[in-house]
Chains A and B, each alone.
Chain A
């Protein structure tokens, strides 16, 4: 009879401890599940970040190789769109173009005068004004020559005053461009802003 009672007590103890163990196990997993979720999330984020960084590194390596191969193109780009005004080069270039017009580089164009203004840093422009006598076709050919220059010109405006002959006088306002200085609002943007303000008023 005594032996039976002790067995019963042992079984009860084991059952109690088992229940406690099971309960604690579930309690532990319940608490740690939030931790697991965070850890998983963190792992995903770090994996994504790692992929982005690795991709960036690979892309930079590839770009470095490509830049070495395209050195000639880079030099051309530097000429075509300098980071600063490069005023001395701009003056030399404008002068040589104008002199080429004077030496009949474009048939039918008589170059009269030209002037170069101060660079506008925020707009990345150097104003160049040219006055010529020509007919329409020669004027278009001259514009094409300026467009196709290594450092290309853009035409802001053309003013034509006519005479009795097919030859007329044209005044061209053109620009030589460079990469605008950052950190300042360009005059065009200022104008846009003022237009928007006046529109809202």
Chain B
């Protein structure tokens, strides 16, 4: 059996250049300390994460506490203001202002309900046919007008009604009644209705107070008249 000798291992002597390479191989103890031995980089990362989360929780807590304390402070202020406003001079002032508001609004409504009767009378004058005479006239605050009067003929009455019904300031024009006699047939050249003597009539309508004055018509002086009015049936506009 030949005696086999292992080859002689030359002692490794680092060259000058190799001396700068650290003597830490992959399996060296120093190398292992980064992975399994000691506190690895992963552990430190977790610790940092914990610190970040803790910081976040801390900030969150401080923020929450601040908001709560602010809210409490505002509540205290509000309670103080409520107390101030609900008692003493402020309460009296508030009541006074409420009363004044009611007074002013009541006054305004009174002023608003003062209807311009001058415009209404002007409008009625301008829509009245000069041959018609009124025996009675009534108007209320809503502009509801009832007139009874007299004309010489049915033709005149027809003109009266036509003028009223064409007025832009008048709505719901209604002929209540009209009646009259017929003249003796001396003037037989005219139709019988044109010869009717003294036709009494009554009409009613709504005057629109807010509107502009009506179109100027014939005559104005028509509030004086005979006070007779018979009745019969009429029609509506």
Q: Which residues in A have some Cβ–Cβ distance to B below 8 Å?
A: 3-4, 7-8, 10-11, 14-15, 17-19, 21-22, 25-26, 28-29, 32, 35-36, 39-40, 42-43, 46-47, 49-50, 53-54, 56-57, 60, 63-64, 67, 74, 77-78, 80-81, 83, 124, 135-136, 139-140, 143-144, 147, 152, 154-168, 177-180
Contacts and interface: CB of A to CB of B under 8 A. Distances in A.
Nearest to B144: A157
B226 A36 contact: no
Contact of B37 (A4, A15, A57, A67): A4
A156 B140 contact: yes
A78 B107 CA distance: 10
B38 interface: yes
A7 B139 contact: no
B118 interface: yes
A4 B32 CA distance: 9
B224 A164 contact: yes
| Interface residue SS majority, chain A | helix
A155 B71 contact: no
B67 A4 contact: no
A159 B38 CA distance: 115
Contacts of B49: 18, 22
B93 A60 contact: yes
Main SS of chain B's interface residues? helix
A18 B81 contact: no
A158 B70 contact: no
Interface residues of B, number: 70
Contacts, number: 186
Contacts of A50: 74, 77-78, 81
B130 to A, nearest CB: 14
A39 B36 contact: no
Interface string B86-122: 0001100110110110111011001101110110010
Contact of B75 (A46, A147, A180): A46
24 contacts: A4-B37, A19-B46, A25-B56, A28-B60, A39-B71, A43-B74, A53-B81, A57-B84, A78-B103, A135-B223, A136-B223, A143-B117, A147-B114, A152-B110, A152-B111, A155-B114, A155-B115, A155-B117, A158-B137, A158-B139, A160-B223, A162-B136, A162-B224, A162-B225
B237 interface: no
Contacts of B140: 156-157
B64 A39 contact: yes
Q: Which of A3, A8, A136, A165 has most chain B Cβ within 10 Å?
A: A136
B110 A157 contact: no
Contacts of A164: 224-226
Contacts of B43: 11, 14-15, 18
Contact of B46 (A15, A143, A168): A15
A180 B135 CA distance: 38
B117 A42 contact: no
Nearest to A40: B67
A146 to B, nearest CB: 9
A53 B78 contact: yes
A14 B47 contact: yes
A179 B160 CA distance: 44
A57 B85 CA distance: 7
B67 A36 contact: yes
A185 to B, nearest CB: 16
Contacts of A140: 117-118, 121
Nearest to B138: A159
A23 B152 CA distance: 108
A196 to B, nearest CB: 17
Contacts of A163: 224, 227
B32 A162 contact: no
B53 interface: yes
A28 to B, nearest CB: 6
Nearest to B71: A43
A199 to B, nearest CB: 18
A57 B78 CA distance: 11
Given A18-B46, A50-B74, A165 B57 contact: no
Contacts of A135: 223
